[in-house]
Structure 1
Amino acid sequence: MNKKINVGLIGTGRLGTMYAEFLASRVPAARLVAVADLVPERVERCAETYGVPKVYYNHSDLNDDPDVDAVIVTATTVNHMEIVVDAAEKSKPVFCEKPMTLSLKQAREMKTVIEKQGVFYQQGYMRRFDKGQAAAKQKIDAGVIGKPVVFRGSSRDPYLPTLEYLRPENSGGQILDMAIHDIDIARWYMGEIATVFAVGGVLAYPEVEETGDTDNVIMVLKFENGTLGEIDISRNGIYGYDIRAEVLGTEGTLKVGYLRETPLLVLKAEGVTHDVVPYFPQRFGDAYVSQLNDFMHNLQFDKSPMITIDDGIAGLQVAVAATASLKENRIVSVKNY
């Protein structure tokens, strides 16, 4: 399929609109031919903005479109399974954003259908396409820091989402919503996770209490190879969007991440200042584009994806286990979920 690929985009909210812009302007192998969303004014605005010829008001009609070669799913997570299964049953290659679903049962059902239909599936984890994260993986594999023995991941959001979104039935809970990328990077760098212990609470925003969720969580990990890890996530990184990863090895350490958005320092008598990364579109915009270009390349040249449905399930499995640990205040074994 060494030609332009006609893409249908399902979900035109905040992330979907970003994807539409990227597909229309920064992914040469893609031709965005259709968009779908349950909210008419949202999908119509997206189509008009990016010159998309076809508009649908449900995923099924887009998946039925014979002009659509492949489907990209950026809809609300609770709808992922229905959309992906429908696309797979109509023989459409699928790219699905994280997390693949909110439940392991649904994730495993998705895998069953995808394998039965024999369709291509690529899981979205854009941090693997970030230049810093990818460079660290290369250094680890090359043995630059010796044997990796400790992983640390940190994700801090600059502001609180709506309380409606925070409800676990919508977001999956803070761990699944915020830590799924850190979990994927931890697995990528260190191997599979054997056990997890999570502690957390409502520490910064009392209003979160009514949702049944947390605003700060720390997770301690033990990998199957005996190495260790820690992930901390926070809703109150009020100074900016702060995403970091660190790997301690027997011969050195790797640190990934940055806080300053513009390579500029302002030096005055009052002190030295700089700006900060505002949020994820600025921090990971290029990584999203690289991920989409990779999806197109895999379809064009019949390549297997770096990030498979098994990676999606494995990350979700750890997040579900960590959430159980948080609720039950005990160390849990990931394989039991």
Structure 2
Amino acid sequence: MNERIRIGVIGMGPMGQKHARSVAENPDAQLAAVVTRRAQVGSEMSARYGCRAYDDYRALLAALDIDAVVIASATREHPEHIIAAAHARKDIFTEKPTALTLDDADRVIAAVTQNNVRCMVGFMRRFDPAYAAAKQKIDAGEIGKPVTFKAVSRDPIWPAHEDDDPRTSGGFWVDMGVHDFDLARWLMGQEVRAVYAVGGAFVYPALEQFQDMDNGIVSFTYAQDAIGSAELSRNARYGYDIRTEVLGSEGSVWIGSIQQTALQVLTKAGVTHDVNPWYLERFDRAFRNEINAFIAALRAGERELTPSVYDARAALAIGIAARDSWRSGKVVEVVR
């Protein structure tokens, strides 16, 4: 394929605008259009990138000059937008999660497969250089057989607005934890079998009315001789803290650092350094890498894109099991 891939972006929140910029900066793609309900944002994007702006995603999908779409709309809208894009025969990059229920995740899979379109899901940590290198070393056998997975994911704050209402976003386990659940499968190379979760709304009591939480730990067993855990928090006041370890029979890989830059200042008062302020900064390169990988795969004619809608369903199933375990106080089997 010699022509540039013509892409439309649905949703102009922080992620949509970041993805739009990545598309515009890729020499093999053209940012053809964006979709936003905010007229001023649409005008700003049109002026900045020379693209069209729609206020209805259906108009974008009806456009004949759109080859693919990037879906960065509100989580509750993902199934509708993915399914509509598939029926419009557009290739798709979508933010996670693809759905909030397994039934909707299955509807997404059916639409993608039946319409023979390609769909990639935005589990961006797979495209972070450190995580990608860790995966290569694990698969090469450098740490032997992976036996234990451990993740720490701490947000500095709970951003209390409509899209973070767990009834529409998925909440603590399904929205926030889904990245760690994807890593738990991807890095270990096998499926999670069962989970047990504990936690509560210790810092933000308002979350109790939604049956949601701000701090939690989930432990899990794998299908074959391995265990894991993920500790999640919404009140790491010091910054955005993402770390992962995989322990193998012959060694271990550690991924992540709270530092944003490799600078420490040492004085008689002590040692100081900066921290990653938020996910947009910590995974800036990963966000660009995943969009570039999506475009490269389309140009190369690849049919099977990863992370896939099947990966998204599997991570969602772990999140739902963790939520059910926390609410019931019991070990819960992960639904296949």
The 8 Å contact of residues 74 and 163 in structure 2, kept in 1 or not, is answered as: no
- 1:47 to partner: Cα distance: 2.7
Task: Return the TM-score normalized by structure 1.
Answer: 0.96
Q: Which of 162, 169, 194 is 1:171 aligned to?
A: 169
- 1:163 to partner: Cα distance: 4.9
What is the match of residue 63 of structure 1? 61
Q: Which of 77, 88, 91 is 1:90 aligned to?
A: 88
When residues 166 and 10 of structure 1 are mapped into structure 2, their CA distance, relative to the original with a 3 A threshold, is closer
What is the match of residue 282 of structure 2? 283
Moved more, 165-174 or 147-156: 165-174
Alignment pair present for 1:40 and 2:39:
yes
- 1:29 to partner: Cα distance: 1.4
The 8 Å contact of residues 262 and 275 in structure 1, kept in 2 or not, is answered as: yes
- 1:124 to partner: Cα distance: 1.3
Structure 1, residues 11-39: CA drift from partner, whole Å, max 9, x if none?
001111111122222x2211101000233
Moved more, 149-158 or 206-215: 206-215
**CA distance in 2: counterparts of 1:57 and 1:242, whole angstroms:** 36
Give 2:45's aligned amino acid.
C
Q: Which of 90, 111, 114 is 2:112 aligned to?
A: 114
What is the match of residue 264 of structure 2? 265
What is the match of residue 102 of structure 1? 100
**CA distance in 1: counterparts of 2:163 and 2:6, whole angstroms:** 32
- 1:210 to partner: Cα distance: 3.2
Alignment of 1:197-216 (within 5 A): 197-216=196-215
**CA distance in 2: counterparts of 1:70 and 1:166, whole angstroms:** 27
The 8 Å contact of residues 10 and 36 in structure 2, kept in 1 or not, is answered as: yes
DSSP-derived class of the 1:293 partner: helix
What is the match of residue 235 of structure 2? 236
- 1:115 to partner: Cα distance: 1.1
DSSP-derived class of the 1:239 partner: coil
Alignment of 1:1-337 (within 5 A): 1-25=1-25, 27-48=26-47, 50-190=48-188, 191-303=190-302, 304-335=304-335
**CA distance in 2: counterparts of 1:41 and 1:212, whole angstroms:** 36
**CA distance in 2: counterparts of 1:327 and 1:42, whole angstroms:** 40
**CA distance in 2: counterparts of 1:87 and 1:166, whole angstroms:** 25
**CA distance in 1: counterparts of 2:30 and 2:307, whole angstroms:** 23
When residues 166 and 315 of structure 1 are mapped into structure 2, their CA distance, relative to the original with a 3 A threshold, is same
**CA distance in 2: counterparts of 1:80 and 1:215, whole angstroms:** 24
**CA distance in 1: counterparts of 2:22 and 2:315, whole angstroms:** 26
**Matched residues, number:** 334
Structure 1, residues 88-138: CA drift from partner, whole Å, max 9, x if none?
111110111111111111110111111111111111111000111111111
DSSP-derived class of the 1:85 partner: helix
**CA distance in 1: counterparts of 2:201 and 2:82, whole angstroms:** 34
- 1:86 to partner: Cα distance: 1.0
Moved more, 209-218 or 294-303: 209-218
**CA distance in 2: counterparts of 1:43 and 1:105, whole angstroms:** 33
Task: Return the TM-score normalized by structure 2.
Answer: 0.96
Query: Which stretches of structure 1, 4 residues or more, deviate above 6 A after TM superposition?
Result: none
- 1:292 to partner: Cα distance: 0.5
**CA distance in 2: counterparts of 1:168 and 1:282, whole angstroms:** 24
Give 1:91's aligned amino acid.
R
The 8 Å contact of residues 244 and 258 in structure 1, kept in 2 or not, is answered as: yes
The 8 Å contact of residues 45 and 51 in structure 2, kept in 1 or not, is answered as: no
The 8 Å contact of residues 2 and 301 in structure 1, kept in 2 or not, is answered as: no
DSSP-derived class of the 2:283 partner: helix
DSSP-derived class of the 2:305 partner: coil
Q: Superposition RMSD on alpha carbons, in Å?
A: 1.3
**CA distance in 1: counterparts of 2:107 and 2:50, whole angstroms:** 32
DSSP-derived class of the 1:108 partner: helix
Structure 1, unaligned runs of 5 or more:
none
The 8 Å contact of residues 195 and 223 in structure 1, kept in 2 or not, is answered as: yes
Give 1:305's aligned amino acid.
L
Give 1:288's aligned amino acid.
F
**CA distance in 2: counterparts of 1:197 and 1:10, whole angstroms:** 36
Structure 1, residues 137-185: CA drift from partner, whole Å, max 9, x if none?
1111111111110000110001221154432112211011111011101
The 8 Å contact of residues 13 and 42 in structure 1, kept in 2 or not, is answered as: no
